[in-house]
């Protein structure tokens, strides 16, 4: 049976990184964008990282520009933005695609392990659904990830145990991370 440790990704300098390097840790894998309405998620993500990294927690940040071109910069520009504006210290990887024929295999795997079930209820969820439906038409059945800041929680054995859409309250994400630690 596959798990996240079977994947190799590129760091922001283009070097291969085996996710086996994170074996035994609780992981939160996130596709991000610097120009998104959910970009402020970097703040609670960094707070979680600071609070839990000594307990075996890592956040793996994968910038993606597939959602309304909200991550247009280079890897270095994105990294500088995140470190200067939000003080992020967690690992940031190379910019990737999460949908379509060019989707990174890691995100295809994650999304197939826990498929999209909706954004929840409320005004924000309804508005985002309309926007994502328009944006993701081009990807058809390969629209694996619906928007920026989709988060996947991985247990210490490399299994995908939860998916959090960007509309999920970050306190709930934190609570689920804490349960695994």
| Catalytic-labelled residue, pool 9, 29, 33, 36 | 36
Residue 82 falls in the annotated catalytic set: no
User: According to DSSP H, which parts of 33-119 are helical?
Assistant: 42-52, 75-86, 105-113
Do 48 and 59 touch, CB atoms closer than 8 A?
yes
Burial of 69 (0-12, 13-18, 19+ CB in 10 A): exposed
- Token pair of 107, please? 């995100």
Closest-CA residue to 177 (of 1, 20, 47) = 47
**Residues acting as catalytic residues:** 36
């Amino acid at each position: 049976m596959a798990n996240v440790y079977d994947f190799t990704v590129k760091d922001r300098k283009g070097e291969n990184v085996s996710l086996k390097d994170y074996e035994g840790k609780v992981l939160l894998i996130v596709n991000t964008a610097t120009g998104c309405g959910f970009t402020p998620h970097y703040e609670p993500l960094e707070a979680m990282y600071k609070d839990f990294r000594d307990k075996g927690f890592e956040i793996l940040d994968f910038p993606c520009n597939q959602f309304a071109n909200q991550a247009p910069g280079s890897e270095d520009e994105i990294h500088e933005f995140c470190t200067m504006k939000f003080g992020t210290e967690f690992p940031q990887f190379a910019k990737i695609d999460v949908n379509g024929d060019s989707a990174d295999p890691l995100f295809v795997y994650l999304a197939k392990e826990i498929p999209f079930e909706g954004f929840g209820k409320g005004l924000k969820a309804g508005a985002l659904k309309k926007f994502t439906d328009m944006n993701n038409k081009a990807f058809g059945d390969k629209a694996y990830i619906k928007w920026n800041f989709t988060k996947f929680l991985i247990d210490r054995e490399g299994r995908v145990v939860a998916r959090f859409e960007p509309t999920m309250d970050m306190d709930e994400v934190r609570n689920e991370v804490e349960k695994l630690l």
